[in-house]
Chains A and B, each alone.
Chain A
Amino acid sequence: SQQGEEDPQALSIQEGENATMNCSYKTSINNLQWYRQNSGRGLVHLILIRSNEREKHSGRLRVTLDTSKKSSSLLITASRAADTASYFCATATSGTYKYIFGTGTRLKVLA
């Protein structure tokens, strides 16, 4: 079963623009993670936000978490062609360590 659902499924933007993708989940969580996957590669961890945090920054990445709405957003500012990849959120139901990945957002950044 899918815990996280990313939205949009696909996003195409110009280099330099900001990209925003959203993740919705179903149960109470301890934390939420975002991962990036380049074509034909494994996933790379980007950022983790805990359930008691509302916003977190890492370089050009900004993540927000709204536990009342069971949703999170990932903002990539000043996007680059190298940001072209699929982005997944991953959540584990509170009290477990079993992470479930969402369906992913495919981001294409045009040079």
Chain B
Amino acid sequence: EAGVAQSPRYKIIEKRQSVAFWCNPISGHATLYWYQQILGQGPKLLIQFQNNGVVDDSQLPKDRFSAERLKGVDSTLKIQPAKLEDSAVYLCASSALGRAEQFFGPGTRLTVL
């Protein structure tokens, strides 16, 4: 079974630029999560989808971050414009409907200069 795929693995941008991350969850997984992990901290949930509907986005900075999950499969997370404090690893995870176990992708390491 293929795992959660993310791209790119690394991205370096300057502040005020925009960036987008892509995630392909495990086939059949209804729930998809985007997390932000700042160095030395635990992952912080940004947004959670169930199929193509948003379950929770209470910690998503909506003035600059947006996410979508078209057709309930792949998802993209966008930051526009980026700030220095957005430097972090962005993790995508998925889980089967009703299951707690989450499967994580390798993450995208974002550096904002």
Contact = CB atoms under 8 A, between A and B. Distances in A.
A and B physically associate: yes
Nearest to A100: B45
Contact of B42 (A44, A98, A104): A104
Interface residues of B, number: 21
Contact of A42 (B45, B55, B101, B106): B106
Interface in B26-82: 31, 35, 41-45, 48, 55-56
B43 A45 contact: no
Interface string A27-44: 000110101000001111
A103 B106 contact: no
B21 interface: no
A7 B44 CA distance: 19
A41 B48 contact: no
B35 to A, nearest CB: 8
Contact of B48 (A2, A88, A97, A104): A97
B42 A88 contact: yes
B101 A33 contact: yes
A25 interface: no
Given A41-B106, A42-B105, A42-B107, A48 B45 contact: no
Interface in A55-99: 88, 92, 97-99
B13 interface: no
Contact of B100 (A88, A92, A100): A92
Contact of A97 (B35, B55, B93, B107): B55
Interface of A: 2, 4, 30-31, 33, 35, 41-45, 48, 88, 92, 97-104
The 5 residue pairs across chains A and B that have the minimum distance between CB atoms: A42-B104, A101-B42, A43-B104, A45-B101, A101-B43
Given A45-B101, A97-B31, 10 more contacts: A2-B42, A33-B100, A43-B43, A43-B102, A48-B100, A92-B100, A98-B56, A99-B100, A103-B41, A103-B42
